[in-house]
Amino acid sequence: MSILVIAEHDNSELKQATLNVVAAAKAIGGDIDVLVAGENCGAVGEAAAKAEGVNKVLVADNAVYGHFLGENLGELVAEVGKSYSHILAAAGTVGKDFMPRVAALLDVAQVSDIMRVESEDTFVRPIYAGNAIATVKSTDSIKVITVRPTAFDPVAGEGGSAAVEQLDVVKDAGLSAFVNEELAKSDRPDLGSAGIVVSGGRGMQNGDNFKMLEQVADLLGAAVGASRAAVDAGFVPNDMQVGQTGKIVAPQLYIAVGISGAIQHLAGMSDSKVIVAINKDEEAPIFQVADYGLVADLFEAVPQLEEELKKVL
């Protein structure tokens, strides 16, 4: 078996999600090659070559891949990937965009968002927003798979010494063009891939109070999220929403502050490894899923938490 992993990156840095996907590839077994497609992305290729368990790195460096347009990446990956048994990418917004195109061009099905590998052709994935877990077997000769990064522990990013090969394959579908992007200017990690998430709910009372959570998040290197109730109340923008209708997160640590724990919120975070709930209502459903519950007024507990964390971190 031979597995092609498509690297996730921003043309300068390899994203950690790639290391999680390589871990999923290792669980399948076989030679693992990594494809880095981008523009002026040589440094990313060098970084991918150091990842544990990587056999070879292929670098397709061309302006047509600079903004990761799905039409161009789809053609490239279908072309390069057709000689592999498995093609894997992280289930982020880039992978979700181009991978189904790859599958369609190869006339195979795609298995989306896998959280476990059972065997080379059988995978476990969430359906119904995680309210059910399906075990799915693929009969296609090439398996096109997106991987939920948080479900796999990353391989080491250092120590490997894979060969790096330049690919001279330029696929410009001529269907789309990049116009512009507005990326949130935040030094905090992305909500979907953060190792720690601190979220606030309706109990925060207003948007200004989220600053308290941001201070705690910055101590922990965490992302800040919110419940739908907090978004609907206008405290914070919708891209912070964790839940069935927002982002699905599964960090190592999830701290829910002033969140009651509606089913639609639990669907977005209950795969977190450790859940902490801080709420003054001891009957709040969030306590039924929390590993550590603190019944307290958040306006007292959160500043205390910040002080205590400063002592130990």
Partner 1 sequence: MKVLVAVKRVIDYNVKVRVKPDNTGVDLANVKMAMNPFCEIAVEEAVRLKEKGVASEIVVVSIGPKACQEQIRTALALGADRGIHIETDEEVQSLEAAKLLKSVVEKEEPKLVILGKQSIDSDNNQTGQMLAALTGMGQGTFASEVVVEGEKVNVTREVDGGLMTVALNLPAVVTTDLRLNEPRYASLPNIMKAKKKQLDSMTPADLGVELAPRLSTLKVEAPASRQAGVKVADVAELVDKLKNEAKVI
Contact 76, 171 (CB under 8 A): yes
- How far is residue 313's CA from residue 308's CA, in Å, rounded to a whole number? 9
What's the min distance (Å) between Cβ of 313 and partner 1?
A: 7
Indicate the residue among 53 and 189 with the shorter CB distance to partner 1: 189
- Footprint (CB under 8 A) of partner 1, residues 79-108: 92-94, 96-105, 107-108
For partner 1, which is the closer residue by CB, 29 or 237?
A: 237
Distance CA 119, CA 280 (A): 46
* Integer Cα distance of 35 and 44 in angstroms: 10
> Does residue number 169 form part of the binding site for partner 1 (CB under 8 A)?
no
**Tokens 């590998």, located at residue:** 117
Nearer to partner 1, 53 or 244 (CB): 244
| 283 touches partner 1 (CB under 8 A) | no
Determine if 18 is a binding residue for partner 1 (CB under 8 A): no
Q: CB-wise, 4 or 102, nearer to partner 1?
A: 102
Residue 71 lies near partner 1 (rule: CB under 8 A): yes
Stretch that binds partner 1, among 46-54, 55-63, 121-129, 158-166 (CB under 8 A): 121-129
Q: Does 220 bind partner 1 (CB under 8 A)?
A: yes
CB of 291 to partner 1, least distance (A): 4
- C-beta atoms surrounding 179 within 10 Å: 6
Query: Which residue of 45, 53, 81, 192 would you call a contact of partner 1, by CB under 8 A?
Result: 192
- 233 lies in the binding site for partner 1 (CB under 8 A): no
Distance CA 29, CA 88 (A): 13
Candidates 48-56, 63-71, 163-171, 203-211; binding stretch for partner 1 (CB under 8 A): 63-71
Instruction: Give the Cα separation of 200 and 301 in Å (integer).
Output: 13
Nearest to 246 by CA among 261, 223, 266, 218: 266
What are the φ and ψ backbone dihedral angles of 7, each rounded to 5 degrees? -70, 140
Binding segment for partner 1 (CB under 8 A), chosen from 18-26, 159-167, 170-178, 204-212, is 170-178
Distance CA 210, CA 245 (A): 21
Is 139 a binder of partner 1 (CB under 8 A)?
A: yes
Using CB under 8 A, which of 83, 161, 168, 177 touches partner 1?
177
In the complex, least distance from residue 216 CB atom to partner 1, rounded to whole angstroms:
11
CB of 133 to partner 1, least distance (A): 5
Q: According to CB under 8 A, which one of 138, 150, 227, 260 is a site residue for partner 1?
A: 138
What is the Cα–Cα distance from 175 to 221, expressed in whole angstroms? 39
Closest distance to partner 1 from the beta carbon of 239 (Å): 7
Neighbours of 306 (CB within 10 A): 15
For residue 224, what are the contacts with CB-CB under 8 A and spacing of at least 6? 188, 191, 197, 198, 199, 200, 210, 213, 214, 217, 240
